[in-house]
Structure 1
């Protein structure tokens, strides 16, 4: 008998569609990288530039060969984890050590340009131009270049904050009706985009010479005005040409400003600076802010624990009632109880905010009472908890119903045989077994409500507020207080808000760890 022939080993060939897909994906990655890298360099976005370049290199290394098979599956999740979770945390921690906020968002050079731009005044002999705004970067924040047409001569000029006004060759621009409509290498902003960027354009002053500059006026006009302030880069001073006053750099609070001879701040503009631990020191040593933080923290705990406890008790009780087989129409009742869960949360919160209106609200009108629900701090807190109860109990009802149906029937039957009453069976047998399943969900619900911004902002907007108080309202939890610090009426203070966010992040982690430590005790129930 002849021996069997040895198996023929054939090298697995990659299919043509797979190769084409790989080429298309890698080509798209290369195109996106080639397009975004110059923009990031121009805008000096060094961190995002590093993320983009490293991600592109990793994609080409992992997906251009047959090696690194595990990496092909691990990379997407790791990449999005880094971009959407780790990077924001790093940025928040970084900003917590700065003075980033209103008037301190840009560089010192941008602050000086803004101060000089605000000193440009129109004179009787000012030259007016037809203006078109262009950019090679962001259409809202710039940087911007002004293309100006002299209606008398038709000559086209261009310039920006760093480049003096100069004529532009006619071959580089397209002019229609005495306005530049196209410019080589630039994007001309439409009227709507100019309006969106108008605040930033008010800070633009294109130098003409040492004593004059171009200032934006309206959406499509600009004029040459006289500069009242001049900046001496060597001496790092600003001089008022009318009064002769000289402003030097001095420290006011924890930031540097241009100050007068008395050390007082001369201009509102400052620049982004590293202030070290100043924001954290302010948080924990300023008695007013520390008191507000502790009060918000205490209410946050009450709000989160109360929301979890009330919704769980209500949901569990309803689940127990509707789990009784003797009850007819259980499916109908369950469907009705799930209706609040089907309504989008932001709609429900806005509707409930109208229900609490003191004069025309549904609650006061129906019950014939006159309770100032949203004007009294205590009643506003009760209103928040009641609304969160209505929105949250269906979730706990669903969870508890599923957990109850998963408990073996012979366990409860054995308890009854041993002489336990229905109440004793529920408390000593059913509840511990149910908590084993739902305890992690209770922890997650607590963490969610600890940062439940929508429930506060859409229902009460953090109020009611004491007279003259804008940082924290009567129902503000920590996350809504942080929002108010960052974007509130008293001015944005992103640096301090970032410091409070870091403290909140640490508190949330500690509380979650404590909760999981206690819930681990339930593991012995099984």
Structure 2
């Protein structure tokens, strides 16, 4: 018995290969390695440039992120180890850039006073008011014939400006960010009292200067004693006094012309005796002020609660109406009939067209005087000007945009449903309504309930339809910032980018409220969907 077993074992061992055959090599291995290291070289070059910029701006957190990301990419792709990470790293980096970072930045902004005139640091605010602020020409101030240039060979679109000036005594001078000095050039050409050429410098044309008009208007050449040289037009400059001076000991800004003292108060420069503040102010941490404003300010609280109730009603009714119509059409077309495929294709057309185009078409159809709906029906309804009719118009338009999606998922769910259950119920004498209510609908809800939750979340933040159809209106006379058809997302957009002044911090706080509300409603809905699945399983 043992002899037979040993013979079989020997035969099996001899049948097995002594070792795994070598993996065949492709002919382009060397090219692949070359391309990989070239890409790594490009990544390193971009990272070095990014680090130099972040270090120059003293953005140490950004420097740390760039260094960490670069090390992760190089460690992953420079060796043959970490094979799974080679597929995960791109997705992780994109998720960090386009999802994680915006979320954290929104949370950070919500705790600041970021708004119009409060988007920079205090140091930048001081520099903008003093260094880049107005320069007042004094009586008998020196004037210079001005020629604007850049260093020879530099890009005229981005290179720092240089003033080539001729004073009253005919001496050629050089003015730059460091100050005024004699124009030390081997060959300087002065024609008509102004410099027309100088070795080492390229004279800019009027078109090139106008292309950088904002920078040119802000540029000045510093002088001793809080003075500076400022341009007058394109061909003349004057020496004047800087109007505003910062006193670091008292943390104030002093107007040298009027003597007014501006103190730092509430992230703004406020005059001691009252009056207009100096712009710009600066961004600072304000804690939970933006959140408490939503809850304590009567106007904001009433607007927020009213918009929230309409927001929930709009999202819920949109899901209910689109699901009902989509399911009805799916049931009708689930049976074989003439033109079934063509009809299904036509019903998907509203879903295939871009939503922003459809919204604009419907907006023209709702026009009170020239719209297609009033002209065909003979009605005289102010669809977009009346509070309730505007809401009806939104729901009808969203029904047109949303039912093809529900029709699509309901059709797929019905076709995947086992037919023997419904056939058995019919044989047992159940009516069609009984079959639908007790068998078809529960099985259908098991598979599409998560889709309904996702549809609710989408419609809760359906900014495109609101913005293109009603723009949130109509608006009450006493509160032009909150319209009758506004959703929280459109209300937030108007606060952040509205014509009355941007309130980025307050808008970010409302965005966090929206996130919390949607999260609570979605979690509750998903729990109900899971419970429904367990009951029907």
Q: Which moved more, 1:41-50 or 1:441-450?
A: 41-50
How far off its partner does 1:100 sit?
Answer: 1.2
3-state SS of paired residue (1:296):
helix
Corresponding residue number in structure 1 for 2:262 = 247
CA distance in 2 between partners of 1:491 and 1:8 (Å): 72
Q: 1:428 to 1:8 in 2, by over 3 A?
A: closer
Structure 2 counterpart of 1:146: 161
Q: Aligned-pair distance for 1:165?
A: 5.7
Distance (Å, rounded) in 2 between the aligned partners of 1:272 and 1:284 = 23
Change (3 A) 1:98 1:193: farther
Distance 1:237 1:343 in 2: 59
Instruction: Measure, in 2, the Cα distance between the counterparts of 1:217 and 1:450.
Output: 55
Tell me how far 1:91 sits from its aligned partner: 0.8
Equivalent residue of 2:40, what SS? helix
User: What is aligned with 1:231?
Assistant: 246
Which ranges in structure 2 are unaligned for 5 or more consecutive residues? 1-9, 187-194
**Residue 79 (structure 1) aligns with:** 93
Give TM-score scaled by structure 1 length. Answer: 0.85
SS in 2 for 1:458: helix
Q: CA deviation at 1:21?
A: 2.7
Structure 1 Cα separation of the partners of residues 231 and 521 of structure 2: 53
Indicate the residue corresponding to 1:157 in structure 2. Answer: 175
Identify which range, 422-431 or 215-224, moves more after superposition: 215-224
- After TM superposition, the structure 1 stretch with the greater mean CA deviation from structure 2, 510-519 or 146-155, is 146-155
Report 1:49-448 matches (<5 A).
49-116=63-130, 117-121=132-136, 127=144, 129-131=146-148, 145-150=160-165, 155-159=173-177, 164=179, 194=212, 198=214, 206-214=221-229, 225-250=240-265, 255-262=266-273, 266-325=277-336, 327-448=337-458
Deviation at 1:382, TM superposition (A): 1.1
Q: For the residues of structure 1 that align with 2:321 and 2:236, how far apart are their CA atoms?
A: 61
1:34 to 35, 48, 53: 48
SS in 2 for 1:36: helix
Distance 2:150 2:374 in 1: 55
1:17-49, Cα deviation, whole Å (9 max, x unpaired):
332232122112111111222122233444433
User: Is residue 149–residue 201 contact of structure 2 (8 Å, CA) maintained in 1?
Assistant: no
Bigger Rg, which one: 2
Q: Deviations over 1:182-203 (max 9, x none)?
A: 989xxxx9668536xx3x7766
| Per-residue deviation, 1:179 | 9.4
Match of 1:487 in 2: 497
Deviations 1:281-312 (Å, cap 9, x if unpaired)? 21221121111111111111111111111111
Instruction: Decide which of 452, 458, 468 is 2:462's aligned counterpart.
Output: 452
Q: Classify 1:437/1:211 alpha carbon distance in 2 versus 1 (closer, same or farther; 3 Å).
A: same
Count of aligned positions: 503
CA drift of 1:222 comes to 7.0
Q: What SS does the corresponding residue of 2:526 show, helix, strand or coil?
A: helix
Quote the offset at 1:155 in angstroms.
5.0
Contact 1:307 1:388 in 2 (8 A): yes
Structure 1 residue aligned with 2:7: none
Residues 466 and 408 of structure 1, relative CA distance in 2, 3 Å threshold? same
Q: Distance in 1 between matches of 2:98 and 2:263?
A: 42
Equivalent residues of 1:131, 1:222 under 8 A apart:
no
Q: Secondary structure at the match of 1:247?
A: strand
Distance 1:357 1:280, change over 3 A: same
Compared CA separation, residues 370 and 270, structure 1 to 2 (3 A): same
Contact 1:147 1:157 in 2 (8 A): yes
Report if the CA contact (8 A) 1:148-1:179 is conserved. no
In structure 1, distance between residues paired with 2:234 and 2:470? 38
Distance 1:472 1:170 in 2: 64
How far the C-alpha of 1:146 sits from its partner, in A, is 3.3
**Deviations, residues 401-459 of structure 1 (Å, cap 9, x unaligned):** 11111112211111101211112212221111111111111111111111111011111
Identify if the C-alpha distance between structure 1 residues 399 and 10 changes in structure 2 by more than 3 Å, giving closer, same or farther. closer
Partner of 2:518: 508
CA distance 1:192–1:329, change in 2 (3 Å): farther
Change (3 A) 1:12 1:190: farther
Shift of residue 68, structure 1, vs aligned partner: 2.0
Which residue does the alignment assign to 1:467?
Answer: 477
- Cα–Cα, structure 1 residues 118 and 7, in superposed 2: closer, same or farther, change >3 Å? closer
Structure 1 residues 166 and 34: alpha-carbon distance in aligned structure 2, compared to 1, 3 A threshold: farther
| TM-score, with length taken from structure 2 | 0.84
* Contact 2:146-2:234 at 8 Å conserved across structures: no
Deviation sequence 1:481-521 (CA, Å, 0-9, x none): 11111101111111111111111111111111011011112
Q: CA deviation at 1:351?
A: 1.3
Which whole-Å CA distance do the structure 1 matches of 2:441 and 2:383 have between them? 35
CA distance in 1, matches of 2:316, 2:237: 59
Q: How many Å separate the matches in 2 of 1:383 and 1:513?
A: 30
